[in-house]
């Protein structure tokens, strides 16, 4: 039997281990985004960015305010099972068995003769009629249902009244003009040319977002990113505060970057860039300044930026590589 002293020692050890895990576990991938794929890329949110020499492939979105719409694919989600159609599956089996049995003289009640055989045939015909009537009514009800009321196509979480105006995935009047008979049409896309000044803006945003995150500057983050991304960053910073730690990032330097794709939707321009950069990323205790963890000094990610006429580029999504 365990003595009271042994039990107390064991309990103290378990509590100490639990406390250590509570502090250390959340520190993994502590930079902005937490090592997850999050944000919105307009109508391409659920499409993988084009491969580049910097990053050959991207992980699917794990957190986004964009709702899948017809024509959009989500490689990160398992496709729902197809609904049974008229004449398929269980219904087809019943109809086939009945009709085939009637033609062959056997059917559900094969082996009977005379009047019993005739009654069996009539019962089969009646059953077939009932099944067909039921299927027709079901099919009509199914077609008569209104179209699914999903969220606006490629909504990215940008406030129409916020700086930059409008939603990146829903430009101008696309929200009203895209409805034809209750169905939503994908926004028209157009090519967007990206030049040296744009690449300079992307590199500058990489540094400014990391710096604002390190200083827990939510005002700065709201100016540098969409409301959706700023909301994700705020959740992460609140989580750090609740755990009594702070993430310090410094010496961010872009090592390699190239354009994955660029396009326009309505009044918004999008650009997704693969970037490999180095940084110093440590998590420290707020009270003692003791280093809790040190993260790898290099990261490769896809960053998507969005802009509206007369406004600068802002961060719209971060996707991890795989």
Is pLDDT at 169 greater than 70 in this prediction?
Answer: no
- Kindly tell me the burial class for residue 157, based on how many C-beta atoms sit within 10 Å of its own C-beta (0-12, 13-18, 19 or more): buried
Q: Are residues 126 and 214 in the same domain?
A: no
Is pLDDT at 89 greater than 80 in this prediction?
Answer: no
Question: SS3 for 117?
Answer: helix
Residue 15 resides in a domain: no
Q: Are residues 126 and 267 in the same domain?
A: no
Q: Predicted confidence band at 31 (pLDDT cuts at 50, 70, 90)?
A: confident
Provide the 10 A C-beta neighbour count for residue 80.
6
CA angle 208, 311, 170 (to 5 degrees): 105
Distance in angstroms (rounded) separating the CA atoms of residues 54 and 256: 7
Please give the mean pLDDT across all residues of the chain.
73
Residue 74 resides in a domain: no
- Kindly tell me the burial class for residue 49, based on how many C-beta atoms sit within 10 Å of its own C-beta (0-12, 13-18, 19 or more): buried
Q: What's residue 249's pLDDT?
A: 96
Q: Are residues 118 and 221 in the same domain?
A: no
Q: Are residues 48 and 190 in the same domain?
A: yes
Q: Are residues 173 and 219 in the same domain?
A: yes
Q: For the chain, what is the total number of helices (H) and then of strands (E)?
A: 7, 9
Tokens representing 271? 């650009």
Q: Are residues 96 and 185 in the same domain?
A: no
Distance in angstroms (rounded) separating the CA atoms of residues 182 and 185: 10
Q: Are residues 273 and 128 in the same domain?
A: no
Q: What's residue 27's pLDDT?
A: 37
Q: Are residues 294 and 161 in the same domain?
A: yes
Q: How many CA atoms lie within 13 A of 289 on its CB side?
A: 0
Distance in angstroms (rounded) separating the CA atoms of residues 52 and 320: 14
Dump pLDDT digits (tens) for 186-212.
Answer: 789 999 999 999 999 999 999 999 999
Section 278-289 average pLDDT: 96
Section 233-237 average pLDDT: 96
Residue 5 resides in a domain: no
Is pLDDT at 78 greater than 80 in this prediction?
Answer: no
83 bridge partner residues: none
Q: How many CA atoms lie within 13 A of 302 on its CB side?
A: 33
Assign residue 218 the CATH number of its domain: 3.10.450.240
Tokens representing 231? 């909301």
Total tally of structural domains belonging to the chain? 2
Could you write out the DSSP letters of every residue in 203-266?
A: HHHHHHHHHHHHTT-HHHHHHHB-HHHHHHHHHHHHHHHHHTEEEEEEEEEEEEEEEEEEEEET
Domain that holds residue 111: 89-144
Residue 183 resides in a domain: yes
Distance in angstroms (rounded) separating the CA atoms of residues 164 and 279: 30
CA angle 311, 312, 316 (to 5 degrees): 105
Q: Predicted confidence band at 13 (pLDDT cuts at 50, 70, 90)?
A: low
Q: What's residue 86's pLDDT?
A: 28
Q: Are residues 242 and 300 in the same domain?
A: yes
| CA nearest neighbour of 302 among 278, 318, 322, 316 | 318
264 bridge partner residues: 190, 269
Distance in angstroms (rounded) separating the CA atoms of residues 82 and 147: 17
Q: What's residue 172's pLDDT?
A: 34
Task: Give CA torsion, residues 157, 159, 162, 166, to 10 deg.
Answer: 90
C-alpha R_g of the chain: 30
Return the minimum-mean-pLDDT range out of 26-35, 179-188, 214-223, 304-313.
Answer: 179-188
State the pTM of this model.
Answer: 0.60
> Residue for token digits 């979480």?
157
Q: Predicted confidence band at 69 (pLDDT cuts at 50, 70, 90)?
A: confident
> Residue for token digits 């190239």?
258
Q: CA end-to-end span of the chain, whole Å?
A: 51
Is pLDDT at 102 greater than 90 in this prediction?
Answer: no
Q: Are residues 249 and 311 in the same domain?
A: yes
């Amino acid at each position: 039997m365990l003595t009271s002293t042994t039990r107390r020692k064991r309990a103290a050890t378990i509590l100490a281990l639990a406390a250590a895990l509570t502090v250390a576990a959340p520190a993994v991938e502590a930079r902005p985004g937490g090592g997850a794929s999050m944000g919105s890329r307009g109508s391409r949110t659920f499409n993988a960015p084009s491969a580049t020499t910097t990053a050959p492939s991207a992980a699917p979105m794990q957190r986004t305010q964009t709702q899948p719409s017809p024509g959009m694919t989500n490689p990160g989600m398992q496709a729902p099972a197809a609904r049974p159609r008229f004449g398929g599956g269980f219904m087809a089996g019943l109809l086939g068995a009945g009709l085939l049995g009637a033609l062959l003289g056997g059917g559900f009640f094969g082996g009977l003769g005379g009047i019993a055989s005739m009654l069996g045939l009539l019962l089969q015909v009646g059953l077939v009629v009932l099944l067909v009537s039921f299927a027709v009514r079901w099919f009509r009800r199914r077609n008569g249902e209104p179209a699914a009321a999903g969220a606006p196509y490629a909504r990215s979480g940008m406030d129409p009244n916020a700086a930059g105006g409008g939603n990146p995935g829903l430009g101008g009047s696309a929200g009203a003009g895209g409805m034809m008979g209750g169905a939503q049409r994908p926004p028209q896309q157009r090519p967007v040319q990206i030049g040296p000044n744009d690449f300079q803006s992307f590199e500058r945003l990489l540094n400014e977002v990391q710096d604002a995150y390190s200083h827990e500057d939510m005002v700065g983050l709201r100016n540098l990113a969409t409301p959706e991304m700023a909301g994700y960053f705020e959740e992460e910073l609140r989580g750090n505060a609740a755990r009594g730690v702070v993430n310090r990032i410094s010496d961010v330097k872009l090592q390699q970057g190239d354009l994955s794709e660029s396009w326009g939707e309505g009044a918004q321009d999008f650009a997704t860039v693969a970037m490999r950069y180095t940084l110093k990323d440590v998590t420290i205790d707020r009270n003692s300044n003791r280093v809790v963890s040190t993260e790898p000094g290099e990261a490769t990610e896809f960053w998507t930026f969005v802009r509206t006429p007369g406004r600068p580029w802002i961060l719209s999504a971060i996707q991890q590589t795989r």
